[in-house]
């Protein structure tokens, strides 16, 4: 495989990853998720990644 072919394959994988991430983030953004600062960071972090239909999206780094 040539260097150009490897580069093309890598870019195609990155593009697919970006498109999938965009789809997840877009869906969550359109869900208009309400947050309450009194709930704390962990609770709101979870809310931001859960759509109104209950589907969870892992779009942020895991919190410990």
Q: Does pLDDT of 64 surpass 70? A: no
Name the more confident of 20 and 64: 20
Which tens digits make up the pLDDT trace of 37-62?
A: 999 888 888 888 887 778 887 877 77
pTM score:
0.61
State CA 12 to chain mean position distance.
19
| Spatial separation of the C-alpha atoms in residues 51 and 6, rounded to whole Å | 37
pLDDT tens sequence across 9-24: 999 999 999 998 898 8
Burial 42-56 (b: 16+ CB within 10 A, else e): eebbeeebeeeeeee
């Amino acid at each position: 495989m040539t260097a150009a072919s490897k580069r093309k394959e890598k870019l195609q994988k990155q593009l697919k990853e970006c498109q999938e991430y965009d789809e997840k983030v877009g869906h969550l953004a359109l869900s208009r998720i309400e947050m309450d600062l009194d709930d704390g960071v962990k609770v709101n972090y979870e809310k931001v990644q859960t759509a109104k239909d209950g589907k969870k999206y892992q779009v942020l780094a895991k919190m410990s």
